[in-house]
Structure 1
Amino acid sequence: MTTVLFPRLDPMLPWLAGESLFSLCSRHHRLWGHGLSARSTEIMFGHRRLGTQHDFPSGLDAFVVRTEHQLGSAYEIARDKTLLKFYRTFLADAEVGNIVATMRGPTVAHLKFRLGLLTSRFRANHPLKACLACMREDLLEAGWVYWHLIHQYPGVWLCPQHLVPLHVSTVKSTGVERFLWCLPSEAQLVECGASSSAASLEAQFRLTNLTIALVDCNAADGWLNADAVQEALRFQLLARGWLTPAGNARLSVAAADYLQHCAALRGPEELNGLPSTLGEAKAQLGRIIRPLRSGVHPLRLLIAIDWLFGGISEFLAIYQRVDKPGTVDEAVVAPDGLNEDRDNLRARLGALMAAGASATNAASQVGVDVGTAMAWAAASGVQVARRPKVLISAVRQSIVNNLRIGADKSEVARSHGLSISTISRLLRTEVGLHAAWKVARFETARSKARGAWQAVCTAQLGAGPKMLRAMDPASYAWLYRNDRAWLTDHLPEKGTDGAAARQGSVRWDERDMLLSVEVEQAAERIAVRTGQPLLQLWQIYQAVPRLKPKLRALDRLPLTKRALERALAPRRSRAAMDLFADRDTRTK
């Protein structure tokens, strides 16, 4: 027998404007008045621990069955009422389908790892955020305070309606009361840490507007392709003179400007992964500019777009030059006429080239770069007639053959006496060549990594995974990122290591010193604010989020351990200390 969420005489609460699934469930819990969140969870999801995640909830199939599909299908809820709405803008259809399937099931374990959030430096906890002004308005207009989904987007730290910094909840994302249903409450909200300076507010305003506009534009899943975004960024870097004709970045100049841009955004815990030194800026910018060998957090791309482009329209104009046409409905987020202008340019260029005009002549008449014209033609499957200048026919065919088997661009350039930029231009303008080159290089790299790993395993029979990984970290890392199924099948059993595990390169002493100071300062602030003589551990790691993952390694952090012991020990109140001091004075 199917168990429904409500009796027939008690209708369900409808969705409020821009509400998340977590908010809707929390309102039902408040309406019912159950003393324990677990009771409401069991009614809504059929299990006490199902569906309580505020960002990527599990058990959506059970929820839909128990609500008799009156609140939408599992597919619709996952895509539009959870944080998947933010991430699907940057994910391929297949990956979005896999995530939805996971959220419909009983567990979402490892989902954030698959998305690359755990190693992104932007944290993966997705703190609950609320605007105090919105709360007051919602209470008057809807009779409820609730969580707005757009406030929860990564990178959004300013209310787009009231232009004030958002506040952060002290529960759920911190690990405290993680199975709790809750609604925004001023008693559980703290400031996000964003600066109140005009420069910081302006920077947060730009990033907030950019994020919401690109995510909420009703485009197809994955329309904001990371590779195409990277090409748009490189295009803009070249326009600013921060990219050489050969494609190399002038990092010293670009990184200084990038660092200045990020400085205005830093403050909220989520954004503290942005660079704080010139060295960090160079490293992070280099990873954005160079070919993406693994996933990149969407927030990193959004911040780079905000840095290099004057607005959404400027970005989309460049983005459509490097991406396939028709991937996004620009009319939703761009000024009227942008679609028409782009389509007219492509149509005029195609007509001119069909009439026999050369790529140079057609590009000149249309007003675009010759390389852009040739790339547009190649993307449409049109082979451009070429003049045999540097690349005579025989040399060109030899280069194409080498690239089709995955040869390195620098080696091809050196062997033929040409520049790397010439080889790159050929890769970009020869129909199907770039895709074939990438496939060939992947196959070559996979064969090389597999062979190297098998050689290590054969040479070190009896060694465990840690020892083998230490002996060939490069092959292990490549296989782990790109061929994990094969690597899993070719790992020895755990526990067979005959030697001590490889020592890490973490500076534990430096980490210990910094963390212990943060713990002491946080404990002092909490004691002053609450006036409690006895602090709880969760209060401290809530104030110092990076402490919680280190609790299992306190044996390596002696200063932090002592700081925690002092902070958690009972302390006399300030009034009591003053009283004892007065007694000592009178005694003397």
Structure 2
Amino acid sequence: MSMKTVSLQPYETLFSWLSRSHIRYGAGPVARTYHALLGKTKVRLHPYLPQGLRDFSALTDKGTDTLLSQHTLYPLFRFFHADEQGRLKHTLLTGEGSSTHAANIPHARLHIPLHHKYCPLCAREQRQRLGFAYFDIRHQLPGLITCERHQITLTGVLCGDGALDSAIALPQEKRPVSAVSLITSTFSQFCVAVSEQCSTSVIQPYLMDNYRHLLDRKGYLTRHHQLRLQQVKQALGARYEMLQLDRGTESLRDYAFLGPLLRQRTGYPAHPLKHLLLGFWLFDGASTGYLKTITPVEQQVLPLADTASLEAKTLALLKQQVSFATIAKRLGKSRCYVRRIAQLNQVSYQHNALMFDARVRHRVIIQALLGRHRRNIANNLGVGMGYVEQVIANTRGLRQWRQVLTHKHKRVKAIYAIEQARIAHPDWLQKDIKQQESQAFFYLYHHDREALKQCLPPRRAPTPPSFDWAKEDMRLIAALRQLTAPYPRSLSAAGRAIGDNGHLRKNLTKLPRTHAQLVAYQIIDK
């Protein structure tokens, strides 16, 4: 190394360290500094996932583990399962490939602009304390716009495609600042605390089952451990109504990411911002919630040995002609329990004069075998519904038989609902049946998939939706007319300015009005 460098500050980004080294010891253009330190004239450093850490380790006298943990956001991405195969770490150390692709950032469908962000008040404090300001890695959390200490909006230096990302920049003090909402500052503090936990201690990737266990404790799982997704979305929507995030996060507002994140069969890593949005609400703003292991809610069941022993004692006392009241008091059980044991074992007993005779009991059993509802049986025979329930529970095998009848009834009802939907809407696809007749669809899906396959419409080959180029032409022409001079000098620059999704370079022939406007602005020739 033929050039001196400055010392790397705690939590300082590598872009900031490189900028300070050039300002302090560099001579001439920035490319000369890059060549002296890294052996190349052009360097592009990601704000929070910079590559080539082995080269920086030799320059800063810091180990690669230290650089990874304290000067990048790699620990946060690793904690949220973005590097299960070690691909991201390899890319950061060697510089081979793209760190954004290795971290699955494009898969998140977030269009957050890349900035080297800083807090003007933090920069002022750094200058007063150290004599210089630097970029803090904790301010680079994607999607956040707030300083966790001063509760003001962060300022950013644009980087990435179309920006002077190879130029040198450091935080400035004199920038306008604005306050943010309370929920925004609180969420920022939570995210920074989680990031610090990941960087200061070696912890294993988060156990995704903890989310479901805690949701179960809060009542967002059904008895069969199905997620009450709509209720979770509504709760997050109410919690984050006033939350302010960076541009490009608008797609998170419908909280559609919760399903793939929480479903047990999905298993694909999600962007850390999505985890943090869920965790802040789920842990009530406590960052230490990610350090706790949540145990599943288990029902307390009486051991089989104790149950059998209790039944044997009850049966023995019944055979000794002990009264129901005495047995109930001695064993700590209700008289209904004692009566049930007597009837299941066909032990004769004496009761008061209000007891129904055997003929009424027989009629209740007959109607129960036919699958009639308890209320209808009670009305037909003039008895109470509690008596009907006792007879059903105390007749061996009757309850199980009624469960079979209920299942058959629900199965027939579900098949009938789907068949009627197909008759009324012959053009419906399987996904339409699933959406409009969800109760019938999922009952058959869980209990009789073969019957579901037979009553669903046949599969059809997917047809991709046609793109409306006329509508896109109108959108781009309107965006172009909002530009002010001086106009961009290239198609790429114009596309970035209006958000063309690459259409200006790839599909300009399908956009005649946009083409004419570009010619009028002298961005392209005729």
TM-score range, shorter chain: 0.5 to 0.7
Task: Report 1:205-244 matches (<5 A).
Answer: 205-217=185-197, 218-225=200-207, 227-232=208-213, 234-235=215-216, 239=218, 241-244=219-222
Paired position in structure 1 for 2:321: none
Distance in structure 1 (CA, Å) of the matches to 2:127 and 2:512: 48
* Cα shift at 1:510: 4.5
Distance in structure 2 (CA, Å) of the matches to 1:47 and 1:40: 9
Pairing 1:286–2:267 present = no
Paired position in structure 1 for 2:15: 22
Rg larger in structure: 2
* Cα shift at 1:113: 1.9
Task: Report 1:102-113 matches (<5 A).
Answer: 102-109=91-98, 111-113=99-101
> CA contact under 8 A between 1:20 and 1:82: conserved in structure 2?
yes
Paired position in structure 2 for 1:435: none
Distance in structure 2 (CA, Å) of the matches to 1:212 and 1:551: 39
Match of 2:89 among 74, 83, 100: 100
Pairing 1:62–2:62 present = no
Q: State the AA in 2 paired with 1:128.
A: H
> CA contact under 8 A between 1:150 and 1:156: conserved in structure 2?
no
CA spacing shift, 1:568–1:50, aligned 2, 3 Å: same
Q: State the AA in 2 paired with 1:552.
A: R
> CA contact under 8 A between 1:59 and 1:104: conserved in structure 2?
yes
Distance in structure 2 (CA, Å) of the matches to 1:567 and 1:267: 34
Paired position in structure 1 for 2:341: none
Match of 1:299 among 270, 273, 286: 273
CA deviations over 1:402-430 (Å, ceiling 9, x no partner): xxxxxxxxxxx99xx89xxxxxxxxxxxx
> CA contact under 8 A between 2:11 and 2:137: conserved in structure 1?
yes
Pairing 1:245–2:245 present = no
CA spacing shift, 1:305–1:34, aligned 2, 3 Å: same
Paired position in structure 1 for 2:155: 167
CA deviations over 1:505-524 (Å, ceiling 9, x no partner): 55555555445444444x2x
* Cα shift at 1:387: 7.7
Paired position in structure 2 for 1:83: 73
> CA contact under 8 A between 1:515 and 1:547: conserved in structure 2?
yes
CA spacing shift, 1:31–1:121, aligned 2, 3 Å: same
Task: Report 1:25-40 matches (<5 A).
Answer: 25-40=18-33
* Cα shift at 1:302: 0.6
Pairing 1:43–2:40 present = no
CA deviations over 1:66-107 (Å, ceiling 9, x no partner): x3xx53023321332123243233247754x54333222243
| 3-state DSSP of counterpart to 1:321 | coil
Task: Report 1:344-359 matches (<5 A).
Answer: none
Paired position in structure 2 for 1:183: 170
Task: Report 1:137-536 matches (<5 A).
Answer: 137-170=125-158, 172-185=159-172, 201-217=181-197, 218-225=200-207, 227-232=208-213, 234-235=215-216, 239=218, 241-275=219-253, 280-281=254-255, 283-291=256-264, 292-312=266-286, 315-316=289-290, 319-322=292-295, 369-371=297-299, 506-521=467-482, 523=483, 527=484, 532-536=485-489
CA spacing shift, 1:49–1:155, aligned 2, 3 Å: same
* Cα shift at 1:563: 5.4
Paired position in structure 2 for 1:350: none
Q: State the AA in 2 paired with 1:104.
A: L
Paired position in structure 1 for 2:121: 133
> CA contact under 8 A between 1:64 and 1:72: conserved in structure 2?
yes
* Cα shift at 1:137: 2.2
CA spacing shift, 1:534–1:115, aligned 2, 3 Å: closer
* Cα shift at 1:14: 1.3
> CA contact under 8 A between 2:82 and 2:104: conserved in structure 1?
no
CA spacing shift, 1:511–1:151, aligned 2, 3 Å: farther
CA spacing shift, 1:250–1:167, aligned 2, 3 Å: same
> CA contact under 8 A between 1:41 and 1:51: conserved in structure 2?
no
CA spacing shift, 1:548–1:260, aligned 2, 3 Å: same
Distance in structure 1 (CA, Å) of the matches to 2:227 and 2:119: 40
Q: Which moved more, 1:252-261 or 1:153-162?
A: 252-261
CA spacing shift, 1:313–1:221, aligned 2, 3 Å: closer
Pairing 1:74–2:64 present = yes
Distance in structure 2 (CA, Å) of the matches to 1:133 and 1:117: 30
Paired position in structure 2 for 1:335: none
Q: State the AA in 1 paired with 2:250.
A: N
Q: What RMSD, in angstroms, separates the aligned Cα atoms of the two structures?
A: 4.0
> CA contact under 8 A between 1:88 and 1:221: conserved in structure 2?
no
Q: State the AA in 2 paired with 1:212.
A: V
Distance in structure 2 (CA, Å) of the matches to 1:563 and 1:41: 40
Q: State the AA in 1 paired with 2:15.
A: F
* Cα shift at 1:536: 4.7
CA deviations over 1:394-453 (Å, ceiling 9, x no partner): xxxxxxxxxxxxxxxxxxx99xx89xxxxxxxxxxxxxxxxxxxxxxxxxxxxxxxxxxx
Q: State the AA in 2 paired with 1:370.
A: E
Distance in structure 2 (CA, Å) of the matches to 1:568 and 1:209: 48
Paired position in structure 2 for 1:123: 111
| 3-state DSSP of counterpart to 1:302 | helix
> CA contact under 8 A between 2:118 and 2:171: conserved in structure 1?
yes
CA deviations over 1:196-221 (Å, ceiling 9, x no partner): 6xxx6222112211111112122324
CA deviations over 1:231-277 (Å, ceiling 9, x no partner): 245335xx2x44322233444444333334444335521422312xx
> CA contact under 8 A between 2:476 and 2:500: conserved in structure 1?
yes
Aligned pairs, how many? 372
Which blocks of at least 5 consecutive residues in structure 1 are unaligned? 323-367, 375-383, 390-412, 419-470, 474-501, 571-588
